[in-house]
Every structure is written in C-alpha cells, then in structure tokens.
Amino acid sequence: MRDNVMDSDLVLDVKGVKKSYGGVEVLKGISFSLHRGETKVLIGPSGSGKSTLLRSINHLTHPDDGKVYLKGEEVTDSNIDKMRARIGFVFQDFNLFSHLTVLDNVRICQIRVNGVERDKATRRAYEELERVGLSDRADAYPAELSGGQQQRVSIARALAMDPDVLLFDEPTSALDPELTGEVVKVMQQLASDGMTMVVVTHEMSFARQAADEIIFMEKGYIVEQGDPQTLFTGAENERTRAFLNVIA
Ligand code: ADP
Ligand code: MG
C-alpha cells in the first residue's frame, strides 16, 4: 500500500524516529527525506546517534517511535526482509563472508534473496566488480585483499542487489589513510552516477564534492542541515561551526 505518496522522486522519508537505550534517548525525533539521485552526508561527533539513525532505517536497530517510508511504503516488521533487500548497507568493517570468494560474496544475495538466476547473477557481479575496479580479483578470498579492496567488494555486493538507496556507515574509518582514497573515489563516482545515498563520514573532501546536503547531528538531534557551500562557509549554528572547524 502506498500510504505516503506526495512526490514521485521521494525515495526515503524518515519521520520522527526515536530510540532510547536504557532510558537514555539517543535519537530524539529525527526527520529527513532523500530524493532519487541525492547524496546526503551525515556528520556529527561520536555518540551523536549517526549509526543508530542509519540502522533504524532498515531495523538493524528497532526504532521506538517514528516511521520510515521507502518509496511511499512504510518499513515495518512484517515487510522488513523485502525492504532490507532494497536498502543497501555498507558497514565500517566490510562484513564480507570470509569463507566465500569475492565473486560469491557479490552474487550470493542476488541468488538467495532476489532469486536471480545464477548466470545472470554472475554477469551482474562482474559488472559491479568492474565498476569498483576489482573484476580481476573475483576468485580471491576477502583475507587476500586490502581493507580498501574489501570495502570496494562490499560496495559491489550492495550495488548488485539493485537497491533503491545505499546507506554507508563510516565506510573508510577502518582503513589506513592511503586506502581511504580508493573507496572515496568509488563513492564519488556513484554519487555522480546518480545513486541515491546517505553517507556517514568524516571525509570532508567527499562531503564538499559529493553531498547535495549535509546533515549535522548532535546528541540525537539534527542541529543544522544545508548544502556544503553554505555549511562550510557560514554555518548558522555555533556548534556546527565548531565541529567543522575541528574536522574540515
Ligand atoms: P555515532 O554513530 O554518532 O557515533 P551511535 O549511534 O553509535 O553514535 O550511538 C549513539 C549513542 O547510543 C551512544 O551514546 C552509544 O553509546 C549509544 N548506543 C548505541 N548503540 C547502543 C546499544 N546497542 N546499546 C546501548 N547503547 C547504545
Ligand atoms: Mg557510528
């Protein structure tokens, strides 16, 4: 049922999401929306609720209150498996299947979750590996790859599912600085190819170049949001400015 139709380009609509842990409210009613082809970058100090917010979108963390709509359809406990297949998630620590080759990592969910026929899944896997520059490593195991390569495989795996939206939770923060660039470059390419994505990151060069909007979170609230140019040159909120001064 499409119960939230207002705008056909609206991909993700997060409304009033709240979450508490042990009586402490870490998300205090977060709302934002994401349209087709948009890249939003979520920034904020450690502990401000960025991961909890991303994880609430596909119920890796169960929100206490609020609603999330994907293309007008509410994400609920009863449709969560179907919704998760449409919401790509890229984790800080890659989360690859260590006992599977690169090719199998990128193909397995296509086959098992989306029911894609094996040959088609293989072709798609190679296409996405090509896109992240790793089609020559299809037979390798994750442990044989650098962290940057593993993260690129994880991005290829998410892309192969044809998601409506991709969520990235600090995709480069487990990487050595020299490997961060290759992952940022892939994300920049995706953003310019028109992928719809939310990226939690401290990579301000990415935020400047790729973000349509930056959302600054602190203590479970959205403090300020705006386009990179405006935020980097003249954030209205003093705490946003202080944070950007330290990080950018
Ligand atoms: P960020 O990603 O911005 O660093 P998080 O969303 O990880 O912030 O965490 C926000 C707050 O919620 C922190 O105070 C953190 O300690 C707390 N928190 C996150 N996950 C859990 C959990 N599973 N159990 C208890 N507290 C948690
Ligand atoms: Mg986090």
Q: What is the pLDDT of residues 40-52, one digit of tens each?
A: 999 999 999 999 9
CA distance 38 to 210: 9
Residues 129 and 156 sit within 8 Å (Cβ to Cβ): yes
Residues 22 and 10 sit within 8 Å (Cβ to Cβ): no
Residues 56-76: tens digit of each pLDDT? 999 999 999 999 999 999 999
| pTM assigned to the model | 0.95
6 falls in which pLDDT band (50, 70, 90)? low
7 falls in which pLDDT band (50, 70, 90)? confident
More confident position, 247 or 64: 64
Sole residue written with tokens 């969560």: 80
Q: Is the dihedral of CA 49, 51, 57, 62 positive or negative?
A: negative
More confident position, 1 or 211: 211
Write out the two tokens for 31. 């709302």
Residues 145-204: tens digit of each pLDDT? 999 999 999 999 999 999 999 999 999 999 999 999 999 999 999 999 999 999 999 999
Q: Whose CA is nearest to atom 7 of ligand 1?
A: 51
Share of the chain above pLDDT 90, in %: 91
Residues 117-138: tens digit of each pLDDT? 999 999 999 999 999 999 999 9
Buried b vs exposed e over 111-145: b needs ≥16 C-beta within 10 Å?
beeeebeeeebbebbbebbebbebbebbebbbeeb
The answer to whether the CB of 51 is under 6 A from ligand 1 is yes
Q: Is a pLDDT exceeding 50 seen at residue 1?
A: no
Q: Is a pLDDT exceeding 70 seen at residue 4?
A: no
State the complex-level ipTM: 0.99
What is the DSSP annotation of 128-174? HHHHTT-GGGTT--GGGS-HHHHHHHHHHHHHHT--SEEEEESTTTT
Q: Please give the distance of CA 197 from its chain centroid, rounded to a whole number.
A: 6
Pairing mode of beta strands 87-90, 197-200: unpaired
Q: Is a pLDDT exceeding 70 seen at residue 2?
A: no
Q: Whose CA is nearest to atom 14 of ligand 1?
A: 47
Strand partners, 214: 41, 226
**The predicted structure's pLDDT at residue 217:** 97
- Give me the sheet containing 221-226, strands edge to edge: 87-90, 165-169, 197-200, 39-43, 213-218, 221-226
Question: How many C-beta atoms surround the C-beta of residue 227 within 10 A?
Answer: 11
The answer to whether the CB of 46 is under 6 A from ligand 1 is yes
- With the most atoms of ligand 1 within 8 angstroms of its CB, the residue from 20, 26, 62, 219 to mutate is 26
> Mean of the per-residue pLDDT values for the chain?
95
Helix axes 102-112, 118-131, angle to 10 degrees: 130
5 falls in which pLDDT band (50, 70, 90)? very low
Q: Whose CA is nearest to atom 22 of ligand 1?
A: 21
Average of per-residue pLDDT across 99-116: 96
